[in-house]
């Protein structure tokens, strides 16, 4: 058996897998290796993040190089996939510079892109959403513990649920313009995926995971504290009472009754995602007219968000 020859190096796991898939579609078997094994914890040596190597059999090296060269994009640096510099505006908005930008690429990759990729070398961000959700929950719980020592467990739990709701995460994601950087499949792109709150909220969680994996808990915590600072300040200013007593469905019903209007009707318009991560879109109708719609990770959350949106529309009209 001949020796393996390294024909490509990259800090990006996604790019390494794209190269591997590209070579295998041309009948060349390859192997991805690194100086260390990836774990759930970021690892660096002298502040330099380890890279990934793609190697092939010695007799295939020349042909593999030719295939890679033939697929390079005509851009500065000659990357096979144009990942990299175009993500710098997002890094500036986030306030964190990735050492392994492949983690950021992974966080931005929606499952629709994976379904349409023939190489098999692209992975979606669902596992990163799971990790990001846990990191976010921990950081917010720690923040509330320190900022609201006077409130009991039930009050802190309600405030935490409000802060990490999908509607809240989608708004924060929109402020970062996450939708512009999403890596989507063609079908999702055509149906307005860049504007879908559920996709943006999930990507926001994956982004938190990417920061954590790249730099550890402190950069992730710092990002979360910056992002949620205004919301925490609002809760502190009002004593968090508004968050604890919010019942937008009751508030909408009371407003309608006081204005001689009929009771609201809530309709499920759409259910998005797999059963274990379902997102519901609910529309509020008043006297047969659609007033507003919103989404959430439960029917209750979506209905409350829709009621709040409807109340804002009606009270400003």
- Residues known to be catalytic: 133, 205
C-alpha to C-alpha distance for 282 and 268, rounded to whole angstroms: 4
Contact 156, 145 (CB under 8 A): yes
* CA–CA–CA angle 267, 270, 273 (5° rounding): 140
181 Cβ partners below 8 Å, 6+ apart? Answer: 87, 90, 108
Q: Is 8 exposed, middle or buried (0-12, 13-18, 19+ CB in 10 A)?
A: buried
**DSSP letter (8 states) at residue 97:** -
Segments in the chain forming alpha helices (H): 13-25, 61-70, 88-94, 101-108, 111-115, 126-147, 153-163, 166-175, 186-190, 197-215, 217-237, 241-245, 248-258, 299-316
In whole angstroms, give the CA distance from residue 69 to residue 262: 67
Task: Specify the DSSP element, H or E, that contains 48.
Answer: strand 48-49
Nearest to 206 by CA among 182, 231, 180, 184: 182
Q: Which residue has the tokens 């591997």?
A: 20
The gap from C-alpha 110 to its chain's centroid, in whole angstroms, comes to 9
Structure tokens at 265: 């009707």
* Contact call for residues 216 and 42 (beta carbons, < 8 A): yes
- CB contact at 8 A, 302 and 280: yes
Q: What letter would DSSP give residue 109?
A: B
Distances from the Cα of 123 to the Cα of 114, 119, 227, 244, angstroms: 6, 11, 27, 39
């Amino acid at each position: 058996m001949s020796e393996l020859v390294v024909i490509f190096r990259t800090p990006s796991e996604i790019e390494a897998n794209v190269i591997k898939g590209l070579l295998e579609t041309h009948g060349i078997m390859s192997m991805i290796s690194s100086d260390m094994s990836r774990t759930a914890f970021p690892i660096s040596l002298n502040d330099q993040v380890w890279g990934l190597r793609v190697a092939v059999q010695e007799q295939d090296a020349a042909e593999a190089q030719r295939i890679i060269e033939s697929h390079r994009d005509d851009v500065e640096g000659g990357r096979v996939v144009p990942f990299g510099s175009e993500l710098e505006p997002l890094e500036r908005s986030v306030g964190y510079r990735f050492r392994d930008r492949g983690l950021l690429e992974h966080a931005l990759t929606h499952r629709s892109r994976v379904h349409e990729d023939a190489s098999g070398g692209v992975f979606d961000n669902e596992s990163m959403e799971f990790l990001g959700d846990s990191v976010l929950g921990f950081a917010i719980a720690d923040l509330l513990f320190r900022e609201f020592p006077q409130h009991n467990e039930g009050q802190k739990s309600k405030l935490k649920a409000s802060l990490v709701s999908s509607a809240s995460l989608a708004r924060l994601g929109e402020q970062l313009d996450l939708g512009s950087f999403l890596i989507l499949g063609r079908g999702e792109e055509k149906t307005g995926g860049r504007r879908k709150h559920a996709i943006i909220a999930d990507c926001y969680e994956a982004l938190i995971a990417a920061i954590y994996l790249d730099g550890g808990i402190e950069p992730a915590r710092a990002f979360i504290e910056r992002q949620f600072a205004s919301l925490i300040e609002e809760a502190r200013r009002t004593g968090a009472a508004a968050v604890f007593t919010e019942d937008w469905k009751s508030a909408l019903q009371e407003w309608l009754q006081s204005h001689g209007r009929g009771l609201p009707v809530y309709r499920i318009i759409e259910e998005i995602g797999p059963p274990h991560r379902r997102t519901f879109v609910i529309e509020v109708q008043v006297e047969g007219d659609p007033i507003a719609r919103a989404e959430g990770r439960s029917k209750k959350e979506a209905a409350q968000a829709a009621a709040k949106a409807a109340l804002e529309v009606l009270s400003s009209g």
